[in-house]
């Protein structure tokens, strides 16, 4: 008799975005004339950079010929892609890596989820609150937690509140933890951490033999000089951190699918018998057994992001989104709304006006401004009373949305 993984039954039924979709559908049915502007989900809208398109086409042509045809590639990705990532994304930061430490994937969501495979179930995990829900849910699914309490906290996970009160930099946990998820620039709050702040975590991890999962999916959006783009800018981080990066937001690859994981050679975990074991080797075994490499033309397209042309074009697209972010942030501030982020990240995290809760604000924004955002409470209990707006829209939509918000609240 086949038995299911009962841990799945602990998950809350309604995932955030389906519930948003339901409410928007209901509203548009009742108000078919309303022009709804979506600044909710963090999905890009601009076309791919021309240099990326060109490389993509070239790779398709390769697949149409016997001479250049590409079948199974290396499961951890082509070296020509890993090398250019090292040269263009890490060397300028002073971070030395080898291609053996880079694992190309079909996206960061998969990586953040799959990395749990190589760790024992009895590790204690610390995650932010609010947080990208995948960190939380995947730990529930593998059976690392008990049931959720009425607030939504799962027994066994150490939650680290991120709020304006602590400047969105959580305190070190009081309990001893083994695995720590950090995401900077942060989703959903759009805030960043300085080198000193990250050093606190690296020092903690080294002192406790803990491992940091550092999600740097939004590093390309950093504009403030001195803010670290990689955890490896912090001394000793190679001994304690795995870094996740993504082409989704950096180069508009949400539909194209490419990401990467860095697992430094120095990084170890501990076996049941107390010995140190190389995590790079363990992850390589995972990748070679359960994955068959990212799509060849996708990897060619990803490599083109690092060509001189591709780099400039993708930076221009990021600048476009960051101008949106500024318009939203300044518009909200002019309307007297307290807000965070939007300087080094494509998300603006606002404090809901007049003590509304997140879903009340969602409904009000939808009904009065015809603008869709994401309720902060959907990212965790400490997100209650906050709200996320994304800067990934078209400029004219962003401007209209901000104008509507100012007309409603800007008194």
Q: Is 168 exposed, middle or buried (0-12, 13-18, 19+ CB in 10 A)?
A: buried
Q: How far apart are CA 9 and CA 88, in angstroms?
A: 44
Residue 240 makes CB contacts below 8 A (sequence gap 6+) with 202, 205, 206, 210, 211, 212, 267
Tell the smallest beta-carbon distance from residue 381 to a copy of itself (Å).
19
Site string for a copy of itself, 51-90 (x = CB under 8 A): --x--xx--xx-xxxx--xxxxx-----------------
- Choice from 35, 155, 290, 323 touching a copy of itself (CB under 8 A): 290
- Choice from 90, 168, 247, 296 touching a copy of itself (CB under 8 A): 296
Would you state the structure tokens that stand for residue 22, as one six-digit string? 């339901």
Helix (H, G, I), strand (E, B) or coil at 122: coil
254 binds a copy of itself (CB under 8 A): yes
| Nearest to a copy of itself of 179, 366 (CB atom) | 179
Enumerate residues 91-150 that contact a copy of itself by CB under 8 A: 106-107, 109-110, 113-114, 117-120, 122-123, 133-134, 137-138, 141
With contacts defined by CB under 8 A, how many residues of the chain interact with a copy of itself? Answer: 81
Q: How far apart are CA 371 and CA 24, in angstroms?
A: 10
Tell the smallest beta-carbon distance from residue 197 to a copy of itself (Å).
21
- Residues paired with 261 in a beta bridge: 103, 244
Tell the smallest beta-carbon distance from residue 375 to a copy of itself (Å).
19
Q: How far apart are CA 145 and CA 155, in angstroms?
A: 5
Q: What is the dihedral angle through the alpha carbons of 181, 186, 189, 194, rounded to the nearest 10 degrees?
A: 100
- Choice from 2, 165, 174, 175 touching a copy of itself (CB under 8 A): 2
Enumerate residues 329-388 that contact a copy of itself by CB under 8 A: none
288 binds a copy of itself (CB under 8 A): yes
Enumerate residues 204-233 that contact a copy of itself by CB under 8 A: 208-211
| Nearest to a copy of itself of 135, 349 (CB atom) | 135
| Nearest to a copy of itself of 42, 385 (CB atom) | 42
Site string for a copy of itself, 257-286 (x = CB under 8 A): x-----------xxxx----x-x--x--xx
Among 305, 385, 225, 376, CA closest to 56:
305
305 binds a copy of itself (CB under 8 A): no
- Choice from 104, 179, 231, 335 touching a copy of itself (CB under 8 A): 179
Whose tokens are 């697949």? That residue is 63
Enumerate residues 24-53 that contact a copy of itself by CB under 8 A: 41, 43-48, 50, 53
Tell the smallest beta-carbon distance from residue 112 to a copy of itself (Å).
9
Other beta carbons less than 10 A from residue 29's beta carbon: 8
Q: How far apart are CA 347 and CA 392, in angstroms?
A: 9
What is the distance of C-alpha 303 from the center of its chain? Answer: 21
175 binds a copy of itself (CB under 8 A): no
Residue 44 makes CB contacts below 8 A (sequence gap 6+) with 248, 249, 252, 254, 321, 392
- Choice from 256, 350, 365, 371 touching a copy of itself (CB under 8 A): 256
Q: How far apart are CA 411 and CA 406, in angstroms?
A: 8
Residues 398 and 51 sit within 8 Å (Cβ to Cβ): no
294 binds a copy of itself (CB under 8 A): yes
- Choice from 33, 255, 354, 411 touching a copy of itself (CB under 8 A): 255
Would you state the structure tokens that stand for residue 6, as one six-digit string? 């009962």
| Nearest to a copy of itself of 166, 270 (CB atom) | 270
């Amino acid at each position: 008799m086949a038995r299911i993984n009962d841990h799945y039954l602990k998950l809350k039924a309604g995932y955030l975005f389906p519930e948003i979709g339901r409410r928007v559908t209901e509203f548009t049915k009742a108000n078919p004339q309303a022009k709804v502007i979506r600044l909710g989900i963090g999905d890009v809208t601009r076309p791919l950079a021309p240099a990326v398109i060109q490389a993509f086409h070239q790779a398709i042509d390769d697949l149409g010929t016997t001479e250049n045809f590409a079948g199974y590639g290396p499961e951890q990705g082509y070296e020509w892609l890993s090398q250019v990532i090292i040269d263009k994304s890490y060397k300028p930061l002073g971070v030395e890596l080898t291609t053996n430490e880079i694992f190309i994937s079909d996206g960061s969501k998969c990586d953040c989820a799959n990395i749990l495979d190589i760790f024992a179930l009895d590790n204690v995990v610390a995650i932010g609150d609010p947080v990208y829900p995948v960190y939380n849910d995947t730990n529930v699914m593998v059976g690392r937690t008990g049931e959720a309490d009425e607030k939504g906290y799962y027994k066994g996970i150490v939650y680290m509140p991120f709020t304006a009160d602590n400047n969105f930099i959580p305190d070190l946990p009081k309990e001893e933890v083994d695995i720590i998820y950090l995401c900077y620039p942060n989703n959903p709050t759009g805030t960043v951490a300085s080198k000193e702040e990250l050093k606190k975590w690296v020092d903690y991890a080294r002192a406790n033999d803990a491992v940091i999962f550092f999600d740097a999916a939004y590093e390309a959006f950093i504009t403030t000089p001195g803010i670290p783009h990689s955890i490896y800018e912090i001394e000793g981080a190679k001994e304690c951190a795995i870094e996740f990066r993504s082409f989704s937001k950096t180069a508009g690859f949400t539909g194209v699918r490419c990401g990467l994981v860095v697992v430094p050679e120095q990084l170890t975990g501990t076996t049941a018998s107390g010995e140190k074991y190389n995590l790079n080797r363990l992850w390589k075994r995972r990748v070679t057994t359960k994955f068959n490499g990212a799509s060849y033309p996708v990897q060619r397209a990803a490599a083109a992001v690092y060509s001189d042309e591709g780099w400039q074009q993708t930076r221009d697209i990021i600048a476009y989104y960051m101008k949106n972010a500024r318009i939203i942030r300044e518009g909200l501030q002019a309307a007297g709304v307290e807000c965070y982020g939007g300087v080094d990240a494509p998300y603006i995290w606002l404090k809901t006006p007049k003590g509304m809760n997140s879903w009340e604000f969602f409904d009000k924004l939808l009904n009065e401004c015809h603008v869709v955002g994401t309720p902060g409470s959907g990212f965790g209990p400490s997100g209650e009373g906050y709200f996320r707006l994304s800067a990934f829209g078209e400029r004219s939509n962003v401007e209209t949305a901000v104008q509507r918000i100012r007309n409603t609240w800007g008194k």
